[in-house]
Structures are given as C-alpha cells and as structure tokens.
Structure 1
Amino acid sequence: MLALIALTLAQSAPAATDADTRAWWALTAELSNDSMEGRDAGSPGYDRAAQLVADRLAKAGVKPLGKDGSWFQPIALERTDIARADIRAGGTRLRFLHDITASPTGVPAQLAGKLAYRGYCGADTLGDVRGKVVICHNTRRAGLPSADDREKALTAAGAAAMLAIADPGFTVEPPRWPFAYARSVRIAGTPVAPVGLPVLTINADALGKLVGKGRDAARLIAGGSSGAPLPAFDIGTDFTARFTLAHSKLTSSNVIGILPGTDPALADQAIVLTAHLDGYGHGTPVDGDGLYNGTLDDAAYVALIVRLAERRAGQGFRRPIVFALVTGEEKGLLGSKYFVANPPIPLSRIAGNINLDQLRPIFPLDLLTVHALDDTTLGDDARAVATSMGIAVQNDPEPERRLLMRTDHWNFLKAGIPAVNFVFGYRPGTKSEEIYRQWYRTGYHKPQDDLKQPMDWQAAADFNRFFYTLTQRVADQDAPPRWKPGSTLRPKSD
C-alpha cells in the first residue's frame, strides 16, 4: 500500500524532471504521506519512517552505527502537554491555541490577577504592577525593550504574569495561529527549571477581548507593530488561567549509519550528514486539516540524504560519511544534542557536518543563504560549488530570526565541529520573496506543508545536485573542514 501511495504521489513530479529528482520525490512522498502521521517524535508514525530510512540505507550499502549493531540510537524522552486550559478575561473565555498559548513548563497550574496594559513594558514605564497580569508588546525592534528586558522588569516589579502579544509587525517571520499544541519534550533526566514569571503568548487579533470595548485594540496593535509611543493603563478586569498538565515518557531514535571511507589516511575525518526525521504529527486543525505532514520540513531532505547513499551504492568517498537522521528537532534539537553528547564514533574523528533543513524549493534557486558562511571552510566549499552552478551565496539577511541556532547544525558548531546549513534566498521585491513570505505565513509548521503544495522542480533538481557535489567535494578533497581565524562561533576552548 505504501509503495502504491508513493508511486501515485511521485507522479505529481512532471515527467520532464530527471530520474533522480523523481526518485527523490517518491521517497519524500513515502516519508510524508498521511500514513506516516506527521512523524511526531516517539509516535508509531515516526518509528515507521525510521524503519523505512534504515531499510533504504541498508539496501544502499551503508553500515549500521546504532546501539548493539542496529540502525537506531534510542533516546529516552519525557513529555509534558497542556491537556486542558481554562483562560478567562472577566466573563470572556479565550480559545487556547487560537487566542492564547503557553509553554507547559512555563506556567503554574493556575494564576490570577488584574489586567494591566503597559505597552513595551520598559522598566521605566511599568508603575505599580504588583500582582497584576501585564500585557506587553513582544516587539523585536532595536531600541525597544527585548523579551529578556521585559521579563526582568516585570519580575523585579512583582507582576503576576506577562501576556506577550505576538507581534504581527515582525514581518520576516509573522506569528502563525493556531498553534498545533502546547507541548514540551526533553531528554529524560534533564532538569526542569522552576517556573519564574509566567509568560503567555497572545494573538494580536484577541487583544480586544482583553482591553475591553472602551479601547481601540487595533490602534494599539498598529502602534506596537510600528514602534510608535504607546500608553500605559490599568484595565482592572480579572484574568484567570487554570491548566491541566499531562506527563508521559517515550522513546524516539536517531537513525545512524556509516559509509566507510576509501583512504585510510582520512579515516579519522568523518563527515556527518544530518536532517531531522521528526515532524509535528497531529495538531490543531487548519482549514479542516489536523495532520502536519512536514513534507518540506524536513522529509524532503531526509530523502535527499538517503538518495545520496543510493547513488553511491556502497562505494565510499575518501572520508567516511556518517548518516544521522535525527529525532526531536522540532522539540528543541534533541536528537542532534544527544548525538553530540553520545557520539557513535569519537567527536575527535568527526571533521565536519553538513545539515539539511529550512530549505524551500518553491521558487528558482539563484541565491542561497549559507549559515556560518564565513566561519569555516565549509562556507568556502559551498560558495565554490554554488558559483560553478551560477548560484550566488549570502550570509543570513534576517539574523533577528536566529535561524542559525534553530536547526541541528547548531549543536555541532557548539561542540567545535565545523558545520553548515542552507536556506533558499531571494532578492527583495521579487516574486521569489513573495512566495517565500507566503510560505512562512501559510506553510511553515502547518498542515499545508504537504505533498499537494506547489513545487519548483528545477529548483529542487538544482539543490539536489548542489548537495551531491558539495558532499563529494568535502569528502574527497585533501584538507578537512576547519575553522577560520576570527570566527565568533568557534568555541573558545576549541
């Protein structure tokens, strides 16, 4: 049945695309069709996807590198969900995950206080907020209080909680409502920090339910989004929140294997290829669809790494290649964190990491954002390969999104291992930017990231070829990846 589904969906790739791109898309379809249930970490759907990946790697001649000679590196996890939330402002009930959300490890079982509005919540504008639930604009504009500034100021002033308005003016990555769920997952045994100032996130469209009919909520949102001066006032309405938490234990595995190198002199210089196998799974429905398939985030790039192995058919590069399809990225980079802390080969024998995430072949590939472009020689390798294909490269033009630290290569960088990651780039004002922005509004971490979304098949083929060529260059050249002098990312102890 899975093969039939994959064949049917693969046929959505135009016949004019090359055979490799069609094979890549067919595997993407197997990994992200509805039968995989969105591959949430620890779910049966994730386990089915992991077994499929392991089977394909085995058939391609890769050797297992997991526990006890298996393909799997199991990770014990602990999960906390907000199973039920009853949140009210006066007599108005707020819809959880639609109007308001919270982290299950960041709120107490219940909280209460009078509502107050304090604009950007700078320390000098708070006044008396003792015991109050304070509404603040979660702006990221330079010159205004940061999230850390707001939290410190409210804590020092004795506030009961902060309601942070998700800023619709942050257009580089606008807020996405509804949230799929309120869930926290951690590696078993990881201490949970005690709840400090409770922080809940408010949908800007719900502000009117909090400030009441006598205030112009839309005007406040517009002002806060533009950085304009804002008033401070007490609302006086009672705010109450009660949360029911559900705790569970689960196990989810990284899939890891190795393609041995052909040059004994380079045997201690392995290159790790990573992509995250997990997705969101089932969550709050959007337009009637409650399954978050995660096709481009990140099934397509798990499939691409598998395709690289299949193209080699057991024939190694000069350096060993470690295949690490990791779990728990969507829950905090957990799989790569565990991999680095419990490496299947010593970290001293890992020379570099090429990570695939945050890529979007939905418009032409003529510009590629390269994370850590100027920090290691992997950036030079990426530039050389891209240039040979007529593709320009750039540093991240939107560092305020912190994408550098939001995907699995970050754990390798922190461990002192040169690493690189990519995002399709665009030039301002182009059709590509329009498509890019639209996808982040309607596709990213949404059920609509599925097999039916529009694709640019030439862009997909181009990036696949870029990845194959880059991997071969890094794995076969004489010198291993290395840090560049002056890199701000290189650990001081490295």
Structure 2
Amino acid sequence: MQRPVLLCLAGAFALAACDRGPPAAPDAPAAPSTVSDTAHVFSPELAPGDFAEHVRVLASDAFEGRAPGSPGEDKTVAYIQSQFERIGLKPGNAGSWVQQVPMTETTADESAIMTVTVKGKPHALKFGDDMVIGTRSGQEQVSLKDSDVVFVGYGVDAPEQKWNDYAGLDVKGKTVVMLVNDPGFHVGDESLFEGRRMTYYGRWTYKFEEAARQGAAAALIVHDDAGASYGWDVVKSSWSGAQFDLRASDDPAPRLPMQGWITGAQATALFADAGLDFAALRKAANQRGFKAVPLDAKASVTLNSTIVEKSSRNVVGLLPGTETPDEAIVYMAHWDHLGKHPDEPGDNIYNGAIDNATGVAGIMEIAERFKQHPPKRSVLFLAVTLEESGLLGSKYYVAHPVIPLAKTVAAINIDAMSTAGLSKDMVVTGLGNSELDDVLKAITDKQGRVLHAEATPESGFYFRSDHFNFAKAGVPALYAEGGEDLAAGGSEAGRKASEEYTAMRYHKPADQFDPNWNLAGVMQDLDTLFQVGQVLADGTTWPNWRAGNPFRAARDASRAAGAKP
C-alpha cells in the first residue's frame, strides 16, 4: 500500500517488450451474471448509495471472501464484468473482459512440525502457534534435514547503503533467521537507511528473495508487532490455507524451497538454549559491520502440500479516448481477499469489505462518472487478482500490459477506503516521489485539504499494494486516501478509527459491510481521484518521478523507447 524517497532497487524491473500480453483466452466460465444480485438502480454520477451497494454485494457471504480460484472468484468476476458492461465500458484485453493470470495454488499440511535441535535439545515448533511455513517451489513435498541455522541480522545486501549481512558467509543449504524491517528500526537509529521510513529491504518479500539468491534452503523471519506493523494473528491467517503464486515461468524473482515466520517468543527461547541473548543480538544487528552468527542448532521438517495449477483473472474495462486513445490512465483496485477458512470455528468468511470491496466499488463509481465526461485519452479500469498473495495480479499485468507501459500516463490505485467521514487532509503514501503530487495538490488546495505522507512510514505500506508493480516498471503511480484529521472529531477521532480497524477488522472476518458507514469522506475522495484522472486524461502532459527517484530511470527509458518509430 505506500512511501517516499525509495531505495534504489537492485536491478530495474524489465519492461514488457510487446504491446499486449499473450492472446486473450476465452473468458473462463463464470457464475451466472450477478447483476440479479442487486435490484439497485444506479446513478450515472458519484453516489453513496451506489458505492454502498457495490460493497454490500462484493462483501456478502455469498461471495465467500473472494478467494482466487474459488466459486467466490467466479461471482466476483461476473459481477465486476456485468457492472463494467452496464456502465458502457469496452472489453479491455483484445476483446476480452478478462486477463487470465496463470497461478499455482499451494496448500500446506498444517500438521507439519519443525524440529529445531539446539545443542542436542529438540524444540518442536507447531504450525500456527510457533511458526508458519510454506513453499513456492511447486513441489508436493519439501524437506529440511539437519539444516544448519544461522542468524543473519536483517538479511540485507544493500550495496548503496554499504550494508551486507551476508558478507563472507556461505548459507547454501542452511536455514537463515532474520529480523523484519530495516537496519536501525529496532534501536531507533534514523541515521541508517531511511530512518523511520521502511525501504524495500525491510519487506519480507525482499528478505526471502535475497535468501534465495544466497542459496539458502529455508528462511524464517522473526515476527514482532512493531517491525511487521501487525500482530501474529495476521501472519497466521495470511499464511494458513491455500496460498497463491505466479508460475515460476511468469515470475523472474528467485524462490526458496521453504520460507516462513517464527514468533519472537520461540526465537528468544531457541537463542537462549544456544547460549545467545536474542535481544542483544537484535541490537548488534543494527550496527554496521555486523557479522552473521551461527547457532549450534539444526532444523528439520517435512512439509507436504497440495499443489493445483489454476488460473485467476484480472478484469479489464476500457473507456477509449476521443483524441489519443493509444495513451491511457489506469485506475486499479484488487478484488481478491482471504476467502473461507473452514477449519476455524464461528464466522470463518473473510469478507474483505474495506479491504478491498471499497476499492473495487470506487473504480466503478469513477468509471460511471468518466462515462458522462468522455476523456481525450483512454482510461483503463483494472480490477486485479492475487494482491493478498503478493501483488501477483498487478505483477502479471505489468509484465503483460494491454496498454504499453510507454503509453501509460499514470496509475491511480484505490485500496481500503476510509469510511470514517470527511477529512481535512489526504494521505499520499510516498508523498514527494512523483509529479502526480502536484496534480493532486492543485485539487485538494481548492478543497481546503492538506496533503501529507503516511503517519507510519516504518510500516512499508508503499510496498504493500498494487501500485508498487507499476512504480517498479517506471509508471508514476498515486496511492492517496482520506486522512485522519476528521471534520468531526479531528485527528484523535481519526486515529481511533484507524486503530480500531487495524486491531479488530484488518484481515479478520469482522471486515464486513456496515450500512451505517459515513460515506461523505468516500465521496470526497472519489471526486478528488476522478479529478486527478480527468486532468491527465484531458491533457497532454507526461508526469514523471522526481529527480533522484530510483524509478525515474525506468520511466525515462520506457518513454524513450515508446517515442521511437
């Protein structure tokens, strides 16, 4: 979901060489059109009742939490497609409403127990309670047997930061244990990396990629609430049940045979039995020149998984431009959520109302309005899949764009809209990174709203939503939402609402539609984001990243390539 002055990513994300992805497969059979699920009469302009109806339908129990590859996907895709058709959009992928996203579904046997033997003393780590593990290998069985365990600090190799936790270390076949977030975070040293602001090196996805590059057999991240920005319950729910991935052939990133998380309590106990003080080592890992510390420990586990090759779908609707239809602005939102967890007692449907039925409803409402004000440039409305599995639907789209990235003016992402009411501010995750901020500010200035960056840059929200894949490919991407300084109650009320959502509903079954939501702020935010797109769609400018931003080089190269005859 968000952040500014990003780290210089190792290796530019390869831009797609072709104008379109592979030929569109016929639309996969879907459930009967779910237009009948609502008798609501929609307005052609932004309307809170329309928005609420979209969220109500998408977050209903009938959609089963919108898990990719499930009957809930069929209903979701059918509903979005039917609404795009009703609005008057055109099929956006070479005559098809969908872009097939090949995926691998991996469901781990959660009875797996990892045994870590420390100085001859075995520790049996239970799945869910003590650790979570999974494989992205596509193999039904992966095993560790007496794998040496090494603590590698933050698991970071950042040449431009003159930091390498793997320096002089051979971890081939070993199990690496590492900390979440960036060096400096756990000791409050803002002189390291970007201070409080998490870089991509702090994200768990990077840490697993780097461990794979180093040849490790397995990697475990030690969880802590502050470093991850969420509790163990979120880790447990997110890593249990079916996990989705792109096929290895569609994903150039390196993969580990096994990866996962371990609780802070278990890590502390394991280190203590090895004669090591985990708290002291965590502090030492924040110092330049830190050297990895082998534990006198061996890890063993056999993980059985059910592997199913499936295909999910991005839904693509296009409003062709009246003058330069080959150039486009992209509005996107992810439609997927966590599905059903049948083994959990009570309510086990993760409805995902805020996250992210609100975003899908938002792009539908903006599409309604654009249809009444035909743009000069095209506007593409993209509902992507597999965000909760690592931004995979948008990752696949960026590798196989239906509008060439060189012709994509900007991307505007809507993910988890605030339903707390009107706000005096707007949060831009990654404020200061691109010239899109200037377009947005001109609009919010007229509204009397103030722009500011996210309040918790250490949470790494910039890397946690779909705009990030566009950014890595060089396309300026905006992720902005209503702030916490509410018109009714001020910042205190806004913080309380945000904290309540994170603690009680985020990635939990309680994220359900509420007919009592205050949608005045949602309407204001959608109007603002519509205006940003309208300025771009009716103009001729090509916004870029700020000078010094690591994504600017990819944008410049893309634009230069697109300008060639």
Residue number in structure 2 paired with 1:471: 533
Correspondences of 1:56-455 after superposition (within 5 Å):
56-67=83-94, 69-84=95-110, 85-88=112-115, 93-105=124-136, 109-113=142-146, 120=153, 137-138=179-180, 140-142=182-184, 163-170=220-227, 172-175=229-232, 176-182=234-240, 183-187=243-247, 189-190=249-250, 199-207=259-267, 210=270, 239-262=299-322, 264=323, 266-283=324-341, 288-313=346-371, 315-362=373-420, 364-426=422-484, 430-452=492-514, 455=517
Q: Counterpart of 2:104 in structure 1: which amino acid? A: E
Q: Cα gap change, 1:226/1:386 in structure 2, threshold over 3 Å: closer, same or farther?
A: farther
Q: Output the CA distance in 2 between the equivalents of 1:465 and 1:290.
A: 35
Q: Counterpart of 1:82 in structure 2: which amino acid? A: A
Of 452, 461, 464, 2:523 maps to: 461
- Tell me if structure 1 keeps the 8 A contact 2:144–2:301: yes
Q: Cα gap change, 1:444/1:225 in structure 2, threshold over 3 Å: closer, same or farther?
A: farther
Q: CA deviation at 1:452?
A: 4.5
Q: Counterpart of 2:364 in structure 1: which amino acid? A: V
Q: Secondary structure at the match of 2:238?
A: coil
Q: Secondary structure at the match of 2:419?
A: coil
Q: Counterpart of 2:223 in structure 1: which amino acid? A: A
- Tell me if structure 1 keeps the 8 A contact 2:181–2:458: no
Q: Cα gap change, 1:475/1:133 in structure 2, threshold over 3 Å: closer, same or farther?
A: closer
Q: Output the CA distance in 1 between the equivalents of 2:414 and 2:180.
A: 30
Residue number in structure 2 paired with 1:15: none
Q: Cα gap change, 1:192/1:6 in structure 2, threshold over 3 Å: closer, same or farther?
A: same
Q: Secondary structure at the match of 2:329?
A: strand
Q: Output the CA distance in 2 between the equivalents of 1:418 and 1:139.
A: 25
Q: Output the CA distance in 1 between the equivalents of 2:101 and 2:84.
A: 21
Residue number in structure 2 paired with 1:14: none
Q: CA deviation at 1:96?
A: 1.0
Q: Secondary structure at the match of 1:274?
A: strand
Q: CA deviation at 1:322?
A: 1.1
Q: Cα gap change, 1:180/1:254 in structure 2, threshold over 3 Å: closer, same or farther?
A: same
Q: CA deviation at 1:136?
A: 5.3
Residue number in structure 1 paired with 2:543: 482
Q: Cα gap change, 1:121/1:483 in structure 2, threshold over 3 Å: closer, same or farther?
A: closer
Of 58, 76, 80, 1:53 maps to: 80
Q: Output the CA distance in 2 between the equivalents of 1:64 and 1:156.
A: 40
Q: Cα gap change, 1:461/1:205 in structure 2, threshold over 3 Å: closer, same or farther?
A: farther
- Tell me if structure 1 keeps the 8 A contact 2:180–2:228: no
Question: C-alpha offsets along residues 196-252 of structure 1, whole Å, 9 cap, x if unaligned?
Answer: 69554112344577568999x9x96699599999xx999978753221022111111
Question: C-alpha offsets along residues 25-83 of structure 1, whole Å, 9 cap, x if unaligned?
Answer: 1111111111111112222211211111111111111111235x221111222233323
Q: Secondary structure at the match of 1:40?
A: coil
Which shows bigger deviation, 50-59 or 164-173?
A: 164-173
Q: CA deviation at 1:261?
A: 2.3
Q: Output the CA distance in 1 between the equivalents of 2:308 and 2:511.
A: 28
Question: Any unmatched runs of 5+ in structure 1?
Answer: 11-17
Q: Cα gap change, 1:406/1:42 in structure 2, threshold over 3 Å: closer, same or farther?
A: same
- Tell me if structure 2 keeps the 8 A contact 1:76–1:251: yes
- Tell me if structure 2 keeps the 8 A contact 1:370–1:395: yes
Q: Output the CA distance in 2 between the equivalents of 1:290 and 1:249.
A: 25
Residue number in structure 1 paired with 2:52: 25
Which shows bigger deviation, 128-137 or 51-60?
A: 128-137
Q: Cα gap change, 1:239/1:310 in structure 2, threshold over 3 Å: closer, same or farther?
A: same
Q: Cα gap change, 1:64/1:117 in structure 2, threshold over 3 Å: closer, same or farther?
A: closer
Question: C-alpha offsets along residues 286-321 of structure 1, whole Å, 9 cap, x if unaligned?
Answer: 773322211111111111111222344565123221
- Tell me if structure 1 keeps the 8 A contact 2:149–2:299: no
Q: Cα gap change, 1:233/1:436 in structure 2, threshold over 3 Å: closer, same or farther?
A: same
Q: How many pairs are equivalent?
A: 479
CA RMSD of aligned residues (A): 4.5
Q: Cα gap change, 1:375/1:129 in structure 2, threshold over 3 Å: closer, same or farther?
A: closer
- Tell me if structure 2 keeps the 8 A contact 1:282–1:290: yes
Q: Cα gap change, 1:337/1:73 in structure 2, threshold over 3 Å: closer, same or farther?
A: same
Which shows bigger deviation, 167-176 or 269-278?
A: 167-176
- Tell me if structure 1 keeps the 8 A contact 2:333–2:382: yes
- Tell me if structure 2 keeps the 8 A contact 1:79–1:248: yes
Q: Counterpart of 1:75 in structure 2: which amino acid? A: V
Which shows bigger deviation, 419-428 or 233-242?
A: 233-242
Residue number in structure 2 paired with 1:42: 69
Q: Output the CA distance in 2 between the equivalents of 1:321 and 1:296.
A: 24
Q: Cα gap change, 1:302/1:121 in structure 2, threshold over 3 Å: closer, same or farther?
A: closer
Q: Output the CA distance in 2 between the equivalents of 1:407 and 1:334.
A: 10
Q: Output the CA distance in 2 between the equivalents of 1:114 and 1:319.
A: 56
Q: Counterpart of 2:469 in structure 1: which amino acid? A: N
Q: Cα gap change, 1:161/1:118 in structure 2, threshold over 3 Å: closer, same or farther?
A: same
Q: Counterpart of 2:383 in structure 1: which amino acid? A: L
Q: Secondary structure at the match of 1:254?
A: strand
Question: Any unmatched runs of 5+ in structure 2?
Answer: 1-32, 156-164, 194-200, 559-565
Residue number in structure 2 paired with 1:13: none
Q: Output the CA distance in 1 between the equivalents of 2:546 and 2:296.
A: 57
Q: Secondary structure at the match of 2:377?
A: coil
Q: Cα gap change, 1:128/1:301 in structure 2, threshold over 3 Å: closer, same or farther?
A: closer
Q: Cα gap change, 1:35/1:261 in structure 2, threshold over 3 Å: closer, same or farther?
A: same
- Tell me if structure 2 keeps the 8 A contact 1:114–1:236: no
Which shows bigger deviation, 76-85 or 127-136?
A: 127-136
- Tell me if structure 2 keeps the 8 A contact 1:359–1:424: yes
Q: CA deviation at 1:393?
A: 0.9
Q: Counterpart of 1:164 in structure 2: which amino acid? A: I
- Tell me if structure 2 keeps the 8 A contact 1:273–1:305: yes
Q: Cα gap change, 1:137/1:307 in structure 2, threshold over 3 Å: closer, same or farther?
A: closer
Ranked by relative contact order (alpha carbons within 8 Å, sequence separation 6 or more), the top structure is 2
